[in-house]
């Protein structure tokens, strides 16, 4: 069983923050501006996501184990 690793700088102030980059990247392409955005592991199908670059609102979808973003219907 692997031990969870914490950032040593945060342990100085008695905080347990996971090391950055310890989780796999979950990325998708924005359907408006086509930039690759980090959606994250916590993204669930049906949730709304706003692109940090263009501000376009999308819906998170999961197709065949791959996370995608689809345009919100107007």
Question: Is 16 exposed, middle or buried, given 0-12, 13-18 or 19+ CB atoms closer than 10 A?
Answer: exposed
Q: Is 54 inside any structural domain?
A: yes
Does 34 map to a domain? yes
pLDDT tens readout for residues 40-63 = 888 889 999 999 899 999 999 988
Whether 55 maps to a domain, the answer reads yes
Domain of residue 45: give its range.
24-71
- Number of domains the chain is built from: 1
pLDDT of 1 reads 43
Region 16-21: mean pLDDT is 73
Give this prediction's pTM. 0.62
Domain assignment present for residue 16? The answer is: no
């Amino acid at each position: 069983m692997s031990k969870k690793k914490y950032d040593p700088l945060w342990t100085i102030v008695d905080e347990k923050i996971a090391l950055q980059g310890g989780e796999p990247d979950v990325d998708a392409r924005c359907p408006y501006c086509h930039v690759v955005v980090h959606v994250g592991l916590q993204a669930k199908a049906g949730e709304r996501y706003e692109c940090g670059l263009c501000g376009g609102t999308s819906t998170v979808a999961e197709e065949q184990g791959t996370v995608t973003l689809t345009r919100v219907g107007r």
